[in-house]
Amino acid sequence: NIKRIIFHIESEDNPLDVIKTIKSNGYEVGIAINPGTNKFEILPYINDIDEILFLTVIPGTQGAPFESSVQDHIIELKRILDVKEKDMLIAADGAINKNNIQELKKWGVNNFCVGSAIIGSDDYKKAYEELNELI
- For the chain, list the domains and their CATH numbers: 4-134 (3.20.20.70)
Q: Considering the chain, what is the average pLDDT of its residues?
A: 95
pLDDT tens for 107-128 read: 999 999 999 999 999 999 999 9
How many residues appear in the chain?
Answer: 135
Q: Phi-psi bin for 92: left (phi > 0), alpha (psi -120 to 50), beta?
A: beta
Q: What SS3 state is found at 68? A: coil
Task: Output phi, psi for 35, to 5 deg.
Answer: -55, -35
Which one has a higher pLDDT value, 60 or 32? 32
| pLDDT value of position 63 | 76
For residue 17, CA distances in Å to 7, 13, 89, 102 come to 12, 9, 21, 36
pLDDT tens for 49-73 read: 999 999 999 988 777 899 999 999 9
Read off the pLDDT of each residue in 11-29 and give the average, rounded to a whole number. 97
CA 89 to chain centre: 8
| pLDDT value of position 93 | 96
Angstrom distance (rounded) from CA 29 to CA 49? 5
Angstrom distance (rounded) from CA 38 to CA 29? 20
| pLDDT value of position 73 | 94
Cα-Cα-Cα-Cα torsion 47, 50, 55, 56, nearest 10 degrees, comes to 90
Contacts for 56 with CB less than 8 Å, ≥ 6 apart: 35, 66, 67, 70, 92, 93, 94, 95, 96, 104
pTM: predicted TM-score of the whole model, two decimal places: 0.93
Contact 89, 110 (CB under 8 A): yes
